[in-house]
Amino acid sequence: MQIRQLFDADTSTYTYFLYDEKSKEAAIIDSVKEQFERDKAYVEQLGLNLKYALETHVHADHVTASGLLRQAFGAQVGVHESSRSACADILVQDGDKFVLGDQVIEAIHTPGHTDGDVTYKIEGALFTGDALLIRGCGRTDFQAGNPEQLYDSITKKLFTLADDTTVYPGHDYAGFTCSTIGEEKAFNPRLGNNKPKDDFVAIMNGLDLPNPRRIDVAIPGNMKCGLA
Amino acid sequence: MQIRQLFDADTSTYTYFLYDEKSKEAAIIDSVKEQFERDKAYVEQLGLNLKYALETHVHADHVTASGLLRQAFGAQVGVHESSRSACADILVQDGDKFVLGDQVIEAIHTPGHTDGDVTYKIEGALFTGDALLIRGCGRTDFQAGNPEQLYDSITKKLFTLADDTTVYPGHDYAGFTCSTIGEEKAFNPRLGNNKPKDDFVAIMNGLDLPNPRRIDVAIPGNMKCGLA
């Protein structure tokens, strides 16, 4: 599987293209509406057949390009069923598989940042959205977020995978592009080094963060696949 | 070889850590002074033995952290011999090899952006600095830049490598993180698709770009490994 990581500097969002080199069947994970023209040109240049526009969750900080990518390329939009998205073609469930040529992407339901977070897994790599970030994790104070649930998602579903599994996050604000499960198990300050659940919950409940600046536009926009 | 790509958003600069997982011997390519604390913490956390702080060239747009990394970890600073750097420990020449455990980094002299540009090569990947960028290349209008030379560096030394060789550039301004030799040979608008040298030279000589905003600080600062 070919992996291409792309960055939206304005929202520090990572978008990923995954494609099977032989068949050119492709998926995009967490597209950004403002980058639609860039990503459209990239698909055309590489001759990709964009089958899927997958979301790790309904984002509160940026609007997706999934609706535009469906219009342009016929990509099926996938969002977790808990999102109650009215625009998705596929209401993703834990264990769902998305086939690109000989390659397979598997969905792992990792709720806690929102109730509908999905981590996408390929051999050797995870696309964790805002569940597990590099030396951090997504906040848990809105969109049915729940710190106990996020702790279980990360420690029971992700930290049980091989240490050398690459972690590709949905954002990074310090310039890191990837990590590994082994590194996050060792060094994640919120839940690495076997930190107990109670400590994690106390950290998350004490964050006292301001709302994302675009939340009032982003959530309703994403519920309509960016076509609102 | 483990590769970690890091980003400095202020100058759109990519920094790379390369390390041998077994021995933990490491090199950093194109560090950024403002990111020294981030990178120092990363070296310490991963338990790396930072042997080399390599530069692809004397940068005009940001100041290196190489002097600070030498002070902190004993890393040897490597800059191409054409740079006439007074602070470097190693005046890098074409063909030089830097050994990290069982892994080897090889220097390829790729002048044209400056006269002292080096592309660092490991198996399957190139760190091209500002010689070859994604769908672009470095400018050629100062620091002994020369478009004819850059054309030859890219087409004769880089485009002759395997198509699936990953290209990790020194910068990107559109959010791309990597490319391949095959893609750049096909799609680079300045010299892909077998564009003749004369056309490339005309493009480069017609760019009429303003000076980098930090050039008066960056070049003299880098000539002193960022310790000026």
Cβ pair B9:A5 closer than 8 A: no
A208 CB burial (10 A radius; 0-12, 13-18, 19+): exposed
Mutation target vs B (from A1, A3, A6, A17; most B CBs, 10 A cutoff):
A6
ipTM of the complex in this document: 0.95
Beta-ladder partners of B52 = B27, B76
Q: Does residue B9 belong to the interface with chain A, where contact is any CB pair within 8 Å?
A: yes
B6 φ, ψ to 5°?
A: -125, 155
- State pTM to two decimals: 0.96
The DSSP call for residue B85 is: -
Query: H-type helices in A56-136, by residue range?
Result: 66-73
**A211 shares contact with chain B (CB less than 8 Å):** no
Chosen from B1, B2, B6 to mutate, greatest number of chain A CBs within 10 A? B6
pLDDT band at B52 (very low <50, low <70, confident <90, very high): very high
**DSSP code of A163?**
T
pLDDT band for B84, please (50, 70, 90 cuts): confident
* Residue A114 near residue A215, CB atoms below 8 Å: no
Q: What is the reported pLDDT for A15?
A: 98
Q: Summarize the confidence of residues B86-110 as an average pLDDT.
A: 97
Cα separation, B113 vs B130, in Å, equals 7
Q: Please, what's the b/e burial string for A22-45 (b: 16 or more CB within 10 A of its CB; e: otherwise)?
A: eebbbbbbbbbbebbebbbebbee
Sign, Cα dihedral of A150, A155, A157, A162: positive
| Each residue's pLDDT tens digit, A51-93 | 999 999 999 999 999 999 999 999 999 999 999 888 999 999 9
What would be the CATH architecture of the domain defined by B2-223?
A: 4-Layer Sandwich (3.60)
pLDDT tens per residue across span B26-48? 999 999 999 999 999 999 999 99
Q: Is B187 on the interface with A (CB under 8 A)?
A: yes
DSSP A171: B
Give which of B2, B5, B184, B185 to mutate to test A binding, by max A Cβ within 10 Å: B5
Domain A2-209 sits in CATH at 3.60.15.10
3-state secondary structure of B216: helix
3-state secondary structure of B54: strand
Q: Is the CB of residue A39 less than 8 Å from the CB of residue A14? A: no
Q: How confident is the model at residue A221 (pLDDT cuts 50, 70, 90)?
A: very high
- Give yes or no for residue A228 having a pLDDT over 80: no
Which residue ranges make up each domain of chain B? 2-223
Say how many residues make up chain B: 228
Kind and range of the H or E run holding B80: strand B76-80
What's the pLDDT tens digit per position in A164-198? 999 999 999 999 999 999 999 999 999 999 999 99
- Chain B residues with CB under 8 Å of A35 CB are 175
In this complex, the residue of A35, A175, A183 whose CB is nearest that of residue B175 is A35
Instruction: Inform me whether the pLDDT recorded for B228 exceeds 80.
Output: no
Q: List, for residues B2-25, the tens digit of each pLDDT value.
A: 999 999 999 999 999 999 999 999
All residues of chain B having their beta carbon less than 8 Å from the beta carbon of residue A6 are 175-177
